[in-house]
Amino acid sequence: MMKCYVVDAFTKEVFKGNPAAVCVLDLWIPDELMQRIAMENNLSETAFTVKEGDAYRLRWFTPGGEIDLCGHATLATAYVLAHFVAPEEQVFRFQTMSGELVVSRDGERLSMDFPAYEMKEIPVTDAMAAVIGARPAAAYMGRDLVCVLPAEDDVRQAQPDMEAMTSLDGLLLHITAKGRDYDCVSRSFAPKLNVAEDPVCGSGHCHIVPIWAKALGKDHIKAYQASKRGGELYCKLDGSRVTLAGYACLYSIAELHVGI
């Protein structure tokens, strides 16, 4: 048996933010088993971590496969370690497919140091407009496609075509606009990973924050993910890095009977 924690990330309240499952392992289990657990959990991300020396090796699995970077599941993993595994530690270092990620305690908030994606502006296409249901004012490409919409309500009210979305370039699609109460509002979609809408996407903000920091002429960005669950991210752009800070709360602890 292994323990599996479910943590709502980027929120102070359960049923909000983005839920991630976290499995803290003594030794690695087969990749196939990790993938099957992620599929059974059916959350946008299941994180697996093993302590290696002074750091932790961290991997993230969606129901559709392993991914190279996930913010909310990293925040959730740090929360589990801070509250249940190593409560005396103030800093957690994770070795990942995206290099070393450092999460620090900031009072009750957790602050993550992530790589910023280099965003290249690309032409807006009719296909983007057709998928989103609104014509973007601008579009950018990193790992993911980011479409900047004219207004916050365009983001909140969008009902994109998930099937057609898979024909667009980029791993995920993020739609974003300047916010009324926040610097920016965004939504994130990942049908290529068998996730329709990601409630709060940390790696997405590694794309979104560089765009808004440049557009608004400021390094500190307070961002809101305008999904049904909603979530707040306190962001800072520092050169090629993005600090993503937020809260998290525990939803459940389960024992997985998977025969290991």
pLDDT tens-digit series, residues 21-53: 999 999 999 999 999 999 999 998 999 999 999
What percent of the chain clears pLDDT 70, i.e. is strictly above it? 100
Q: Which helix (H) or strand (E) holds 107?
A: none
What pLDDT is stored for residue 159 in this prediction? Answer: 97
Residue 174 pLDDT greater than 70, yes or no: yes
Select which of 32, 40, 45, 100 is catalytic: 45
> pLDDT value at position 194?
86
Mean pLDDT, the chain, integer: 95
Residues above pLDDT 90, as percent of the chain = 92
Output the CA–CA distances (angstroms, integers) from residue 176 to 42, 136, 207, 228, in the order listed. Answer: 26, 9, 11, 15
Report the sign of the C-alpha dihedral through residues 164, 223, 100, 63, in that order.
Answer: negative
Task: Work out the pLDDT band at 193, boundaries 50, 70, 90.
Answer: confident
Distance CA 20, CA 24 (A): 13
pLDDT band at 260 (very low <50, low <70, confident <90, very high): low
Is the pLDDT confidence value at 171 over 70? yes
Q: Contact 5/33 with Cβ under 8 angstroms?
A: no
Q: pTM of the entire structure?
A: 0.86
Of 138, 208, 200, nearest in space to 179 by CA: 208
Give just the sign of the alpha carbon dihedral 14, 228, 167, 207: negative
CA 171 to chain centroid: 13
| Residue 234 pLDDT level (bands cut at 50, 70, 90) | very high
Three-class SS of residue 6?
Answer: strand
- Residue 153 phi/psi, 5° resolution? -65, -30
Q: Does pLDDT of 19 surpass 80?
A: yes
pLDDT tier at 1 (50, 70, 90 boundaries)?
confident
Instruction: Indicate the residue type of 172.
Output: L
* pLDDT of residue 259 exceeding 90: no
Q: Is 45 a catalytic residue?
A: yes
